[in-house]
Structure 1
Amino acid sequence: MILLFTYLAIALLISFLCSVMEAVLLSSSNTYLAVKLEEGVKTAGIMLRLKQNIDRPITAILTLNTIAHTIGAAGVGAQATKIWGEAIFGIVSVVLTLLILVFSEIVPKSIGTRFSKQLSIPAGQIIRVMMFVTYPFVILSGLITRLFARHENEQTVSREELSVMASIGRTEGVFEEKEQKIIQNLMRLKSVSVSEIMTPRVVVTAADENMGLEEFLQKKQFLYYSRIPVYSGYFENITGYVFREQVFEKLAEDQVHLRLKDLRRDIVVFYKSKPLFNVWETLLDKKEQIAIIVDEYGGIDGIVTMEDIVETLLGFEIVDEKDKIADMQEYARDRWKKRKQKYDLLDTPPGPSTPLK
């Protein structure tokens, strides 16, 4: 009888440990382990390395678990037959199956999943011991796997997963609502074209580069923008932009003879299909705040500013690719109307067909 319970206890304990280790290995987060490693917990690196080549630890765990089940079932069955006879063998098998199901599968895997963070650090060392014990099987499994499986570097995290994690973090109270939106918008910047947030051509304010500084000052519509595009001859021929504060400085210095083209700065140009992230990156690199957006033929489609991008990132919800660009352009028009009401601008916004006198 003692030998029967010894076989049973050893089988259940080893199987329990294997199931806990398996659940922890599969449930532990690479991010959590990386944070712990940066905090100086060197043993977190053991689990990280195991997860990078997960086939080897899984082989060790499953091998040890299978051996425990096999020896336990054989030992318990043999002892039960010796004590009670073959008639009781069926009942013993049913009881053993239920015990293994509950105490070797359901309970340990629930514990491993529930406490994966707390157990992930010590689990790495335990699994490494298991791999040492079952080393021949680990090597054999690795050889077989290489014959049938192609080696591919799979991503451990994707943009979609980070976006979902932000939502989960908001639900669990880790992030505020605005923080969640910033993370999700940032993850989608590469999939959104600049044309979806630009100010459309019809509401762009621009000035003739031959305009004098005093005349510029008299035009009320120019006073509410820090950077104003300038064109030569006609609107489509935008040659750069002027910085409003620089115009004021030159006027304060009584340099009234200057024209806007004397203060003109080069302006960055992007195609309307350019991903918003790349536009943002380029503007940051060039230390610019404004850019012209053109279509595939070089015609002016609109403008985008760093303010537009920051608004998109911090508060404005980026539309899905199914949404129409026309909706975004309507948003830009509405935004212009709000600015018009706020600053008491002209009743009619200047556009490509409206001469600026």
Structure 2
Amino acid sequence: MYESQIVFLLALIGLSGVFSGVETALMSVSMIKVKSLLKQKKRGSEALHRIKHEPHKLIITVLIGNNLVNIGAASLATVLFTNIFGSSGAGIATGVMTFFILVFGEIIPKTFCAQNAETISLIAARPVELLIKILWPLVKLFEALTKVVSRIMGSKDSNKLSIEEVKTVVSMGEKEGLIEKEAAEIMHNVLEFRDTKVNEIMTPKPQIDMVDGEKTIKDVINFVIKSPYSRFPVYQNNKNNIIGILDVDDILIYIKSKRLGAKIKRIAKETFFVPESKEINDLLYEFEGKKIPMAIVVNEYGDVTGLVTMEDILEEIVGDIFDKSKKSSKYVKKLSKNIIRINASIPIDEINKLLKLNIQPKNFSTLAGYIESKLRRIPKKGESIKFKHFKLEIDEVSEKGIKSVRIIKN
């Protein structure tokens, strides 16, 4: 007598499970994965791609379908159980349907579809797209209502991804095997270097190989040959007065024409100055736009503090991939198991990472500056500063300041 109603009720519960599971599957598949499926020309991938581009329509359609099915199932169950159990049937129907909808309409289908999201999404994409078209009037109505409520509530509709969201997408792509590890690292570095300042990557002034503008080509040939660099800042009178940049290629031209007596300042190219606080992503655009390979870094008073090149910026993006220890290795030399020598020009952030310290840069940016600021003078060789797990001992000092220190473990 009630067989047909029971079959219809079970079918509605099954449909509820289908809607819940399909929603979970479609929302679980990342856009990166969808594009990968599209490239592989998987059946259903085109429909899936279109659906993922309009997720609000997908959600509205699934919610309409699921609620209609659940309401229908609840109504049918109430009628069925009332006919069987009389006046107490409504209460029994509520309890039974709550259990069946929760278990077979939500938990089981959502769990299964989450575990098989890719397969389910490809199968369901076309039927769901068709359902969106069938329910188009209702979808548009609820979409409009949602926008009105969002405006009233002050919600902002933004399609822009934050930096953190982009990082998450890159990490997901790497995890799913769609982006290679090296490419993912480059992408992360590009995102992270947005706020990096020039003074964080520059070569400090004491480490720069400079050329006196009054010298001749003959005077500097040996110096240039021994140096690993191809460009040199040219100074006049003192190293704080940079008047140009010397390019090795220009020297070769003069050597070939046997004009060895020409003064360096005559062949030096124009200098490009940048402030320490400039962000390196902005500097990269300037380097590319003006075809400049090098810039002299100055502080707020106009004093030369360092040098930055295109290679320095690119190293921020790809350097760590080829040599994770490159930055520290140019400053650090291991002498024994418990002793290392550090160039005193090492930036504070590097020494913090190396020794797990938390030195806050104030009016200094290097280890030498920190020591001199702490002692309020240039220390003598052999003087030391004690920390909890190590001792920092002055290794080499010049008239201008500290050149190197030793880190000795306690």
1:128-175: CA deviation from partner (whole Å, max 9, x where unpaired): 222233333212212322323248552464332343455556667776
Query: Deviation of residue 258 (structure 1)?
Result: 1.5
Q: Distance in 2 between matches of 1:154 and 1:183?
A: 23
Question: Are 1:4 and 1:80, in contact at CA under 8 Å, matched by a contact in 2?
Answer: no
Determine the structure 2 residue equivalent to 1:266.
270
Query: Deviation of residue 292 (structure 1)?
Result: 1.4
What is the identity, as a one-letter code, of the residue corresponding to 1:251?
A: I
Determine the structure 1 residue equivalent to 2:201.
197
Q: 1:51 to 1:177 in 2, by over 3 A?
A: closer
User: TM-score, normalising length from structure 2?
Assistant: 0.70
Determine the structure 2 residue equivalent to 1:116.
117
Question: Are 1:24 and 1:116, in contact at CA under 8 Å, matched by a contact in 2?
Answer: yes
Determine the structure 1 residue equivalent to 2:246.
242
Determine the structure 2 residue equivalent to 1:338.
none
Q: Distance in 2 between matches of 1:262 and 1:56?
A: 69
Structure 1 counterpart SS, 2:130: helix
Query: Deviation of residue 186 (structure 1)?
Result: 1.6
Q: Distance in 2 between matches of 1:13 and 1:348?
A: 81
After superposition, residues 1-357 of structure 1 pair within 5 angstroms as 1-38=2-39, 44-87=45-88, 89-150=90-151, 152=156, 154-155=158-159, 157-167=161-171, 179-219=183-223, 223-316=227-320, 329-330=366-367
What is the identity, as a one-letter code, of the residue corresponding to 2:129?
A: R
Question: Are 1:12 and 1:100, in contact at CA under 8 Å, matched by a contact in 2?
Answer: yes
1:44-85: CA deviation from partner (whole Å, max 9, x where unpaired): 454444344333221221111111111111112211222343
Q: Distance in 2 between matches of 1:7 and 1:239?
A: 89
Structure 1 counterpart SS, 2:239: coil
Question: Are 1:47 and 1:121, in contact at CA under 8 Å, matched by a contact in 2?
Answer: yes
Question: Are 1:3 and 1:79, in contact at CA under 8 Å, matched by a contact in 2?
Answer: no
RMSD of equivalent CA atoms: 3.6
Question: Are 2:61 and 2:131, in contact at CA under 8 Å, matched by a contact in 1?
Answer: yes
Structure 2: where are the runs of 5+ without partners? 328-348, 351-357, 369-395, 401-410
State the percentage of identical aligned residues: 24
Q: 1:323 to 1:16 in 2, by over 3 A?
A: farther
What is the identity, as a one-letter code, of the residue corresponding to 1:141?
A: F
Q: 1:323 to 1:116 in 2, by over 3 A?
A: farther
Q: Distance in 1 between matches of 2:161 and 2:125?
A: 21
Please identify, of 207-216 and 89-98, the stretch whose mean Cα deviation from structure 2 is larger: 89-98
Query: Deviation of residue 5 (structure 1)?
Result: 2.0
Q: Distance in 2 between matches of 1:190 and 1:14?
A: 49
Determine the structure 1 residue equivalent to 2:371.
none
What is the identity, as a one-letter code, of the residue corresponding to 2:218?
A: E
Please identify, of 285-294 and 6-15, the stretch whose mean Cα deviation from structure 2 is larger: 285-294
Q: Distance in 2 between matches of 1:87 and 1:194?
A: 78
Question: Are 2:197 and 2:276, in contact at CA under 8 Å, matched by a contact in 1?
Answer: yes
Structure 2 counterpart SS, 1:149: helix
Greater relative contact order (Cα < 8 A, sep 6+): 1
Please identify, of 205-214 and 61-70, the stretch whose mean Cα deviation from structure 2 is larger: 205-214
Question: Are 2:12 and 2:72, in contact at CA under 8 Å, matched by a contact in 1?
Answer: yes
Q: Distance in 1 between matches of 2:239 and 2:365?
A: 23
Aligned residues: 336
Question: Are 2:82 and 2:90, in contact at CA under 8 Å, matched by a contact in 1?
Answer: yes
Q: 1:267 to 1:5 in 2, by over 3 A?
A: farther
Query: Deviation of residue 230 (structure 1)?
Result: 0.9
What is the identity, as a one-letter code, of the residue corresponding to 1:135?
A: W
User: TM-score, normalising length from structure 1?
Assistant: 0.79
Structure 1: where are the runs of 5+ without partners? 332-346, 352-357
Q: 1:170 to 1:67 in 2, by over 3 A?
A: closer
Q: Distance in 2 between matches of 1:48 and 1:323?
A: 50
1:6-61: CA deviation from partner (whole Å, max 9, x where unpaired): 23222112211211222133222122223444555695454444344333221221
What is the identity, as a one-letter code, of the residue corresponding to 1:163?
A: K
Q: 1:349 to 1:59 in 2, by over 3 A?
A: farther
Relative to total residues, which structure has the larger strand share, 1 or 2?
Answer: 2
1:242-285: CA deviation from partner (whole Å, max 9, x where unpaired): 12243244224421121212332223332222221222233234
Determine the structure 2 residue equivalent to 1:344.
none
Relative to total residues, which structure has the larger helix share, 1 or 2?
Answer: 1
What is the identity, as a one-letter code, of the residue corresponding to 2:277?
A: S
